[in-house]
Amino acid sequence: MPQFSYRARNSQGGLVEGMLDCADRAVAIRQIEQLHYIPIRIDAVGGLPQVVKGAGIASEPAVSAAVPATKNLKIPHTQLLIFTEQLAHLLQAGMTLDEGLSVLQKRLKHPRVQQMTQALHQALVDGRSFSQALRDFPRVFPAIYVNLIAAGEASGALPEILKRLVEHLMQAKDLRDRVQQALIYPAFLAVAGGILMTVFITFMVPQLTNFMSQNGGTLPLPTRMLVSFHHLLTTYWWLAAVLLLGAAIGIRAFARTDDGKVTLDRLRLSAPGYGRVLRHRYYAQFSRTLGTLMENGIPLLKALDLVTEIAGNRYLERKLIEVRRSVIDGANLSVALSNQHLFPELFTDMMAVGEQTGHFAQTMQTIADVYERELDRTVKIISTLIPPVIIVIIALIVGFVVYSILSAVFEMTSSLQVRPR
């Protein structure tokens, strides 16, 4: 029977090497995955590497020259989505990480993606884990991406985690596209309204003021307000610029402190509309990831550590640390979450049912489905409401400016008609 040498990662992230007696490579991969290892490289002993059944591509030799990772390297969001999706397909087809990255290095034609893939491949050959290699590209892979990959390596469910990342990236792209499409028409109106107000305030208001002063007329209240705004804008514009710059520097400095990050992240979660989207996205992400980890045999405390790392929000991280402490003290997870007022009652009630019935992992997947549907509904509502709200705001501002000018014109007309000859 053929022999295969393999290199893999265990649930603790350690490098494992060994030999297997198997009929073919596909059987070897299944045996390694049954041990909850992440296969990195599998080679036939005493012969050429076999073709992966179903993939149609032979294993390529390792890249000999090390490729330096560039921390400033950045690729488009679409390319990151393609990279993640194709890697997930290759792993599901039975390839190892080493083989999958080697294939993507040839298949993906974007120069920066090729450079990144080559560096990742070489890092695996050098014995590093996939998540460690991803950290060399902070501008490409966000923290949530890297930590989810680490969770996949620890649980032996890397293909499933990659599929979740594909869905996450597609949701982020869909959300961004929806908001951009919803803002095209209001943005056009905003630009047109801004130009109109600039022309009115810059040219017509001074002319009206001079004309009224020469004829001894009195400007109406709305026009006087507009004139005062013009005076402030032309006289103290530098002060407004200094205040805005100072505020930006102050907020940036505050955001660099630990308490500042917690405060700002908490404000993001409580922001109208936007905060609701963030919360529902995290509810779905938390439950989906926790359920996947538990299904793959990761202990609850280790799973909590991993979902805390992928929060991407300092306020949530602090709360989850308190939750973990309560679980260590003997509390159920649902009770610990409820005490922190971190999740809605529906979430914790469904989790409690899963704990009582012994189907915790399946219940968490169901919760994720619920909040993913809720997230989609919330995004649709917000993207539908954005255009009319912006249009109404612009209409009110432009309407006030036009009314201020027309009221001054009517006032002048009336004064000229009643003036004695």
Cα separation, 5 vs 278, in Å, equals 45
* pLDDT, tens only, 26-63: 677 777 777 767 776 777 776 544 433 333 333 333 33
List, as one string, the DSSP characters of 64-132. Answer: -S-----TT----HHHHHHHHHHHHHHHHTT--HHHHHHHHHHH---HHHHHHHHHHHHHHHTT--HHH
Element (H, E) at 150: helix 143-155
Tell me what pLDDT residue 246 has: 93
Tell me what pLDDT residue 49 has: 43
Tell me what pLDDT residue 48 has: 43
Tokens of 404: 């201020």
Domain 77-166 and domain 274-381 have a common topology: yes
Tell me what pLDDT residue 1 has: 66
Cα separation, 150 vs 157, in Å, equals 10
Q: Pairing state of beta strands 3-9 and 15-21?
A: antiparallel
Residue-range domain boundaries for the chain:
3-44, 77-166, 274-381
Please tell me whether the overall predicted TM-score, pTM, comes out greater than 0.75 for this model: no
Architecture of domain 77-166: Up-down Bundle (1.20)
Only one residue has tokens 């001894």, namely 216
| Residues of the chain predicted below pLDDT 50 | 48-69
Cα separation, 284 vs 293, in Å, equals 14
Pick the CATH number of 274-381 from 3.40.50.970, 3.40.50.10860, 1.20.81.30, 3.30.750.24: 1.20.81.30
